Amino acid sequence: MDSAVQIGVIFHSATGATRELARAVHAGAERVPGAQVQSLDLDPEDIVRGRYGRDDVLSRLSELDAMVFGSPTFMGCVSAQFKAFADATGDLWAAQAWAGKLAAGFTIGSNPAGDQLGTLQYLQLFASQHGMLWAGLSVPGYCEERQLNRLGAQTGLIACSADGAVHADDLNTACYLGQRVAQLAQRQRGPS
């Protein structure tokens, strides 16, 4: 068995802002020695009749130790593309193939109070339905000296961008989240 913890960053990005956050999550997880990270950018072309159609990708996700989910916030929830992915995991849910794995989440919206918490709560509920263990940020409020958790969310990373640019503090927080998930996955796995 490979001793490296396997981390997946699974996300949909409509404008590129969520992709920037995903890259920072990925980079943060890679900072942890012994972590192997892969990212899955949900391609709208892979959605057939309203469902994510890549069964090969879905089956490989079960090999991961942890998953960090990301979506922009649209109308107070995940994007339709992310929801199509989530809906396609029904067979994995029935088998509880992801039970006991770590999960975390991030989102971005265009308003500071743009209902991004609804997106994180959806991601947390999605993970819980799969029997996953949720990892929040562990940063109590905004930590100015470390430039983390600018909007003060505990459940996961909430970012805001009115002009399409991702704030540096939000990118720092995304990096921190990736690192935290990789460290927790290592701790959960125990010594190899």
pLDDT at 112: 80
Q: What gap in Å lies between CA 88 and CA 162, rounded to an integer?
A: 31
Which superfamily does CATH assign the domain made up of 5-189 to? Flavodoxin domain (3.40.50.360)
CB atoms inside a 10 Å sphere around CB 131 = 14
pLDDT at 89: 96
Q: What gap in Å lies between CA 176 and CA 63, rounded to an integer?
A: 23
pLDDT at 192: 59
pLDDT tens series, the chain, 192 aa: 468 999 999 999 999 999 999 999 999 999 999 999 999 999 999 999 888 989 999 989 999 999 999 999 999 899 999 999 999 999 999 999 999 999 999 999 988 877 899 999 999 999 999 999 999 999 888 878 889 999 989 999 999 998 889 999 999 999 999 999 999 999 998 765
User: Domain ranges in the chain?
Assistant: 5-189
pLDDT at 1: 44
Q: Phi and psi for 150 in degrees, rounded to 5?
A: -55, -35
Q: Where are the alpha helices (DSSP H) in the chain?
A: 17-30, 55-61, 80-87, 90-95, 116-129, 168-189
